[in-house]
Amino acid sequence: MHRPLPSSLHTPAVPQWSTDDAVLNVALVYPMQGPAGIFGPTCVSCARLAAEELNKAGGVLGRELRLLEVDGGAAPPQVAQDVEALVATGAVQGVTGWHISSVRQAVAPRIAHRVPYVYTALYEGGERTEGVFMTSETPAWQLLPAMELLAGTRGVRRWYVVGNNYVWPRRTARGARGYARACRGGRVCGESYLPLGTEDFRTVLQRIERTDADAVLMLLVGSDAVRFNRAFAASGLDRRCLRLSTLMDENMLMASGPEATVDLFSTAGFFASLANQDTMDFHGRYAGRFGIDAPAPGSLGESCYEGVLLLAALVERARTLDVSTIGATADSVSYEGPRGLLRLRDRHVRQRIYLAQADGLDFNVLAQLSGPHGLL
């Protein structure tokens, strides 16, 4: 698990910053602890790379973009308090980063109408708070087409949902029930929700064993998913049920180990193994900046690169930091990054989504998925 960064990088209880008109300060909210801490290092590395590249190209509105790191792995009320303090004192003029939906729900009402807030985590859908913009995947675009493909190619009909006990897994599972019925008459035959930080999965595995499930939908975060993968394989259930996750990157895959990821599928808008020019160019710059031994820039960490780019594009298009003006011009915003040329629609980025299968310590990308009603 990722160890917390030195205290000098944590948000101070009372910010000691002075504002500088030549600088655009952005709070980067990412997990430094907890289950999601496993991919915290790649979140901060990818965001730093984006900021450095933007500054080399002239900054944002001619201002240098600087990142202030905030621990998004703390309790949601604490994260919201930390971020609001930074906004209220003028220490930051924008917020971005990967953090779970319960953190977003705590933060957004307190700051999003005051500064632009770019949320980079895949999530359950439905966010409409003024000033919040989303870079990542939602179930209708990510999960539904993946379930459809697995129903057709693998004959999956009966799903068991295992998730952490908070808003993203529960609302995603609600969608999955309908998606299963739409996929050749399938169904969700059981659901289990566990606290973040769960280590003992014996009861859940016994419940899966007693059902007729032929697939498990994993909605577990970070190291919880790693431990579940190991327990699942040790129980022998991997010989009967495939697994599909919408939150599984290369760091989690490597931590699970190849013997624990047989017949494991992941769906996302980015995989490190994608062999297109945008991805290869990004890997070259990332390795050049952080070295070949740096944390793997999987979809979760890479989303923070996207978040910094989108925040810059929103501000540049509006030519102001005013949230209302940014919102009024948002649907005309586009930017180009590792996921290709992307555009905003209804405050959400529209992007290509892929299905991949675990292959040792990497993912083999099997297909690009069609969105709802065949739309990209």
CATH code assigned to 139-273+354-374: 3.40.50.2300
Q: pTM of the predicted model, to two decimals? A: 0.93
CATH code assigned to 7-137+276-352: 3.40.50.2300
Q: Say if strands 23-30 and 94-97 run parallel, antiparallel, or are unpaired.
A: parallel
| Sequence ranges of the chain with CATH classification 3.40.50.2300 | 7-137+276-352, 139-273+354-374
Q: So what's the pLDDT on residue 364? A: 97
The CA-based angle 149-151-157, given to 5 degrees, is: 155
d(CA 266, CA 272): 12
Q: So what's the pLDDT on residue 184? A: 84
For residue 315, give every residue at least 6 positions away whose Cβ sits within 8 Å of its Cβ, in sequence order, or none. Answer: 24, 60, 61, 94, 116, 321, 326
String of DSSP letters for 217-238: EEE--THHHHHHHHHHHHHTGG
Token pair recorded at residue 48: 């730093």
Give the mean pLDDT per block of 10 residues along the chain (376 residues).
Answer: 36 45 96 97 98 98 98 98 98 98 98 97 96 96 96 96 98 97 94 98 97 97 98 97 97 96 97 93 96 92 98 97 97 96 95 96 94 52
Q: So what's the pLDDT on residue 239? A: 95
